[in-house]
Amino acid sequence: MKVLVIGGGGREHALVWKLNQSPLVKKLYCAPGNGGISRFAQCVPIGADKTDDLLQFSIKEKIDFVVVGPEIPLCAGIVDVFEMNKIPVFGPSKAAARLEDSKIFAKEVMIKANVPTAFHKVFTSSEEAIEYLNKKSVPIVIKADGLAAGKGAIVADTREKAKGAVKLILDDRVFGSAGDRILVEEFLPGEEASMFALSDGKTVVPLLAAQDHKRVYDNDKGPNTGGMGAYCPAPVVDPVMQERVMRLIVEPVIQQMEKEGAPYKGVLFVGLMIADNEPKVLEFNVRFGDPETQAILPLLETDLMEVFLAVHEQKLDKIKLKWKQQTALTVVLASGGYPGEYEKGIAIQGLEALDDMNKVVAFHAGTSCKGGIFYTNGGRVLNITALGSTIENAQDRAYAAIKRIYFDKMHFRRDIGNKALQRLERVTNESAGK
């Protein structure tokens, strides 16, 4: 098969890396791809949002299957376009992608499906929203309704900050039309987790859960980013919690989407907050997470191409996923200044030193390659993923690998995995009666 992966970040590198292992895949393309992806796939200089160009390329090259990575083309309806042209594609339709495209639509679906989530109210007027805030306690969450590059949710720990966020979105229009409407939402305390499930519209199959780290600095300090690291499986989602999430959240949402006339086919990302053993939904994404994918896919033993075909052909009930009995941990190496302004074009040293490290993979997120040398080309530059028999083992291996890599102003968190270790220690102490 000729397969095209759309996107150019760390998630897409992980997808390409895994698909390259499938005997079903004879030729891989990635648009636009990046420096690291070019080792496994032919990179095509077409942006992920250029639907018409991507379609023409796919027709010309007789592409047999398309995998869409990012949310923007999915929410714009790229799946519908490819399917109308009889090109098989992995991902939800535009109607189904509204689960990420509109947080208000997602809330409406959850309410109809009786899914546990934070209480919220919708506003289009800053005056009305501020009047409402005067009656509410803090912390509180302000969210833009539409896509805002992962920056549309603002947790305000004072009423003044909350009012400022409202004005920023509704009056100053910092997110453009994505902020035509806002949600003012109760703050949910607890521990976050990322749960993923495959759906062919009827059958739903869970993937391993992961835990992302959004804040740029250690101990969850500083501004939110696209994600600074992840590990999988996440101890907070044990088998009992996974079954609970599937029964209370994932299955009801998939059933409700069918009732909405928008059957969900693809992977559903459920952002969870778990407190007192009760899961609640923070958000839905309609694609693989980044950097969670970089920690999940190295543990998957099943042929990923077979999985994608089963989803497309509605034969997911015939697939049984097999997983390595290990832990994977991913640390993001970012450009200095990220998520604010940062430089590009800085030479990266030491990547070749990882080639002789067992169970370590460098997934490229924002790199370019010129003359055999890799350069930084984004805010999140590299994802260093390590496998181990335990969280601690994977953590040690990942940070040992990072010591071999250098680029000027390189920044990374040094505590990825600590939450899992702390949780496991608490569980051990509780079971021992301490």
Q: List the 327-334 sheet strands across, edge first.
A: 211-212, 229-232, 327-334, 380-388, 360-364
| pLDDT tens by residue, 15-71 | 999 999 999 999 999 999 999 999 999 999 999 999 999 999 999 999 999 999 999
Q: Is the dihedral of CA 92, 170, 215, 249 positive or negative?
A: negative
* % of residues, the chain, pLDDT over 90: 94
Cα angle 391, 321, 43 (rounded to 5 degrees) comes to: 80
Longest Cα separation, the chain: 66
Whether 184 and 140 have beta carbons less than 8 Å apart is answered as yes
Q: What is the mean pLDDT of residues 308-322?
A: 97
Write down the pLDDT at residue 432.
Answer: 74
**Phi, then psi, of 59 in degrees rounded to 5:** -65, -45
Structural domain boundaries of the chain? 2-91, 125-180, 191-421
The H-or-E segment that residue 304 falls in is helix 304-312
CATH number, domain 125-180, options 3.30.1490.20, 3.40.30.10, 1.10.287.70, 2.60.40.1930: 3.30.1490.20
Q: What is the mean pLDDT of residues 86-109?
A: 98
Cα of first residue to Cα of last residue in the chain, in angstroms, is 57
For the cut 70, the answer to whether the pLDDT of residue 434 exceeds it is no
Q: What is the mean pLDDT of residues 298-306?
A: 98
Q: Torsion angle of alpha carbons 331, 281, 338, 162, nearest 10°?
A: -150
Mean pLDDT of the chain: 96
Q: What is the mean pLDDT of residues 101-114?
A: 98
| pLDDT tens by residue, 160-181 | 999 999 999 999 999 999 999 9
| pLDDT tens by residue, 229-251 | 999 999 999 999 999 999 999 99
Write down the pLDDT at residue 223.
Answer: 86
Both tokens of residue 263? 């059957």
Cα distance between residue 153 and residue 223, in whole Å:
11
Q: Which one, of 178, 184, 150, 149, lies nearest residue 166 by Cα? A: 184
- The model's pTM is 0.96
For the cut 80, the answer to whether the pLDDT of residue 150 exceeds it is no
**Read out DSSP for 156-186?**
ESSHHHHHHHHIIIIIS-TTGGGGSSEEEEE
Residue 150, Cβ neighbours under 10 Å: how many?
Answer: 15
The H-or-E segment that residue 380 falls in is strand 380-388
Q: Does domain 2-91 have CATH number 3.40.50.300?
A: no
* % of residues, the chain, pLDDT over 70: 100
Cα distance between residue 49 and residue 32, in whole Å:
10
| pLDDT tens by residue, 381-429 | 999 999 999 999 999 999 999 999 999 999 999 999 999 999 888 878 8
CATH of domain 191-421: 3.30.470.20
Whether 156 and 141 have beta carbons less than 8 Å apart is answered as yes
Q: What is the mean pLDDT of residues 194-199?
A: 97
Residue with token string 């007027």: 125
**3-class DSSP state of 90:** strand
Q: Is 56 left (phi over 0), alpha (psi -120 to 50) or beta?
A: alpha
Bridge-partner residues for 68, per DSSP? 6
Whether 286 and 96 have beta carbons less than 8 Å apart is answered as yes
